[in-house]
Amino acid sequence: MAPLGVPTDDAVYVERLAVRPIWWVVALAVSVLGAGELAAGFRWQIGLIALVVALAPTVSVLSILSRLTIRVDARGIHAGGRTMTYDEMESVEALDRKQTKTQAGPGADPAAHLVFRGYVAESVVVRPLDPRPVPYWLVSTRHPQQIVAAVERAARAAFSAR
């Protein structure tokens, strides 16, 4: 099993976009220091309550941000709770840091399906055959070339199996 119970029996590629450990250290340190500031001068019980109140949302947000899994298998690409099959897909293109910034910012289409994490510099853009409902998917990834290669390999295998 891959992270968070994603089955990998037919997966060609699986990537989990977890928040890097240094972000956890910094965020938890800021929460602890903030709780200490809030509780200064009070009894230790108040300090403990302030610590719990500060740590709960910090851990929750970091955990939610670490849940994203990208999966390429025989059916298609899965990201952000959606699946685009190879029959619906026109192209997959790897984007570098600069292209990702443009595509996620000033060049973004409001109708696009964004599976975007600001802490991941690169991405892939997946274009469907019919751009009317969703013009493209922008999916953050630390390994865009591997996703493109996995999609091409899996699509060839899916079409040759027909």
Query: Considering only CA atoms, which of 128, 79, 81, 121 is closest in space to residue 103?
Result: 121
Output the six-digit token pair for 45.
Answer: 């019980």
Q: Residue-wise over 101-136: b if at least 16 C-beta within 10 A, else e? A: eebbeeeeeeebbbbbbeebbbbbbbbbeeeeebeb
Output the six-digit token pair for 60.
Answer: 């929750």
Calpha distance 79→63 (Å, rounded): 17
Q: The domain 70-160 is classified under which CATH number: 2.30.29, 3.90.550, 2.30.31, 2.60.40?
A: 2.30.29
**pLDDT tens series, the chain, 162 aa:** 344 444 546 888 999 999 999 999 999 999 999 999 999 989 999 999 999 999 999 999 999 988 899 999 999 999 989 999 999 999 999 999 999 999 998 888 999 999 999 889 999 999 999 888 899 999 999 999 999 999 999 998 888 876
Q: Residue-wise over 78-88: b if at least 16 C-beta within 10 A, else e? A: bbbeeebebee
Which positions ≥6 away from 9 have C-beta within 8 Å?
none
pTM equals 0.78
